[in-house]
Structure formats: C-alpha cells, structure tokens
Structure 1
Amino acid sequence: MNTIFQERKIVSRLLAVFLSALLIVPMLTSCGGGSQTSAPPPPVDDTIGRNVNNPAPRNQPQAKKGLSTGQKVAILVGAAALYYIYNQRKNAQGTGPQGKYYLSKNGRVYYRDEQGRAHWVTPPPEGIRVPESEAQQYRDFQGYNRRPTGRDLTDITAQPAPAL
C-alpha cells in the first residue's frame, strides 16, 4: 500500500512540473522583445482612389519657372517623367517625399517614409515641362513629348533601398 502511495506521489509531482512548464512557455516566448529585424511594412500606393480630374497636390518636381517664350520645352509623362523625377531625387538626403528616391526592380520609383514603408511615386497626369536641352536624355523613354512608345524603367539597373 505504501509503494502505491509513493508511486502516485511521484506521478503527481511529475504531472505538476510538466503542467507548470506548459504554462510558463507562452509567457517566455511572448516576452522576447528580441531584435527588430522584421521586414519593413508593405508598400503604400498613394494613387489608389485619387481623383484624376482634380489630382491631389504632389510633392514632385514641377516645371521650371521663368522659361522664356523662345525656349523650347518637352513634356514628360509616364516612364520618361518617372525617370526624370527619380534622377532629381536619387541623391537626396533623408526620408519621405523630399528625401531619397529609389528605382525598384519592377520599374517603379518609390521613396521610404520614417517608418520604412515604401511609397510608390506617380508622375502628374498633366506631365512635367522640362527644357528640351535637359529632356534629351529621356527621349528614348515612353512618355517623352507624350509619345506612347519607347523604353520603360524595367531595363534600368535598380538601386534598391538599404535594408532596414
């Protein structure tokens, strides 16, 4: 009788230790805190839901002011405008719309906000007026002087954002 009691006592203790350990495991795994090596949040497409007839003001380069009437200009839309915008901001410092812009592997231009979230950049629908001498480097791209044909940005070497 005494051995049965001792066996039950040992089994009860082992069961108590096992159940206690099971209760502690979730607490230990949730309190890790750990390093913040998670991937940055997904990209934000600010163009979704935008009214094309009355577009939201964009913090993108605008046409050069003060062009003389005799100076020729080119209108850049589409890929040509995106590449122009990218080239204007690729060496900028900081984050956000006034910071550095990056070229993605899929041929889109984006910037990162303070939280590391990518924001896709879209050129203004009316295009960007650029002096013709400055716009010549974009003549092979779709959208140069509103031309529907030409290169896109997918074949340009992408400069990805640094890992966060």
Structure 2
Amino acid sequence: MNTTTNLERKKASLPVAVFLSALLTLPVLSGCGGGSRTAAPLPPVDDTAGRNVGYPQSPNQPQQTKRGLTTGQKVAITLVGAAALYYLYNQRKNARGNGAQGKYYLSKNGRVYYRDDQGRPHWVTPPSEGIRVPESQAQQYRDFKGYNGRTTGRDLTDIAPQEAPTY
C-alpha cells in the first residue's frame, strides 16, 4: 500500500509542478516580446504648477533687445487667459515636432496641450503677465475672456473639436 500512495502523490504533483514552472517562466517570456504595444496612453502631465511655457522666446534663443515698435505694432493688445491660450494654439497648431516648441493641440475640454517625446500630453499655461499682440493680430480674439484684460467672453470649450481627447 505504501507504493500505491507514493505513486498517487507523484501523479498528483506532476501537473502542479508543470503549472508552477509555466507561471515562473511567463514573466521572462512576456518581457522578450517584440510585438506591438497596445498599452493605454500615459496620463497627462500638468505643467501648470511652477512654470509657464516660454513664449515667444524659446529657451535655446538668446534674449534680443527690442529697438522700437513699427507703426502697426504701436497699438498692442494684451491677451491673457482663454484669449492667450487660443493665440498660442493658433501660433503652434501647424508646427512640426514634439515638445513646447512643437505642435499644439486643443482638447475637448477646452485646454491646449503639446506632446513630449514620449507622447505624454503637457498642458499649456499662458504667461501670467499676458502676451502683447499687435492690434491687427489681436482682433480675432476679441470675443474671448482675457482679451485686453477683460474677464467676460467665450472660452475654448466653445471651439474645441468634439473628436479631440478630453485628458
């Protein structure tokens, strides 16, 4: 009877051993896969805390001194808030590349963002002091909040494409 019990244990432990071996090799084999990645996109990075997107000067360009304004630039309008974001979006929506100096996108929730080299979205925050724009360019933003310091008007959710990501 001792040999029968011993034989039954061996038969019962063989499937368990095969199963446990398969479980141990699964992480090693899955790490070697070179197939397509279907992982969910990374969450957006909120850059609003502590820094603004450097606009219009990029960090790689030296500061240039302004010598004077032309006749068309003498009347400048300051854009803040939604008007400034929409201005920044329009300046960069057809740009090439990634990063703060690359292409900007408009999300469904009315926020402007760009993607870094890893594809993560970063929210764009206009400078708190606003953006001074020649009056001729600023007229298209006159209906938006922040046009010349105004606190009323449209925001970007009014123009956000419905097929855009919400982030």
TM-score per shorter chain, which class? 0.7 to 0.9
Aligned length: 151
Give the whole-Å Cα distance in 1 for the aligned partners of 2:138 and 2:86.
11
- Out of 67, 70, 76, the residue aligned to residue 68 of structure 1 is 70
- Residue deviations 1:109-156 (CA, integer Å, cap 9, x gap): 110000111111000011111111111110000000010000011121
Partner of 2:44: 43
**In the TM superposition, what is the alpha-carbon distance from 1:69 to its structure 2 partner?**
5.9
Partner of 1:153: 156
RMSD (Å) for aligned C-alpha atoms: 2.3
Please tell me whether the aligned partners of residues 77 and 147 of structure 2 are also in contact (alpha carbons under 8 angstroms).
yes
**In the TM superposition, what is the alpha-carbon distance from 1:57 to its structure 2 partner?**
6.5
User: Are positions 1:20 and 2:18 aligned together?
Assistant: yes
- Out of 53, 58, 67, the residue aligned to residue 58 of structure 1 is 53
- Residue deviations 1:4-25 (CA, integer Å, cap 9, x gap): 6246414423313323312322
User: Are positions 1:113 and 2:108 aligned together?
Assistant: no
Partner of 2:88: 85
- Residue deviations 1:28-82 (CA, integer Å, cap 9, x gap): 145313432212322112221x2xxxxx5632236xx653367311110000000
Partner of 2:125: 122
Of residues 5-14 and 129-138 in structure 1, the stretch that sits farther from structure 2 once superposed is 5-14
State the AA in 1 paired with 2:69.
L
Please tell me whether the aligned partners of residues 98 and 117 of structure 2 are also in contact (alpha carbons under 8 angstroms).
yes
Of residues 12-21 and 94-103 in structure 1, the stretch that sits farther from structure 2 once superposed is 12-21
Unpaired stretches in structure 1, ≥5 consecutive residues: 51-55
Partner of 1:136: 139
State the AA in 2 paired with 1:45.
D
Residue 26 and residue 153 in structure 1: after superposition, are their counterparts in 2 closer, same or farther (change >3 A)?
Answer: farther
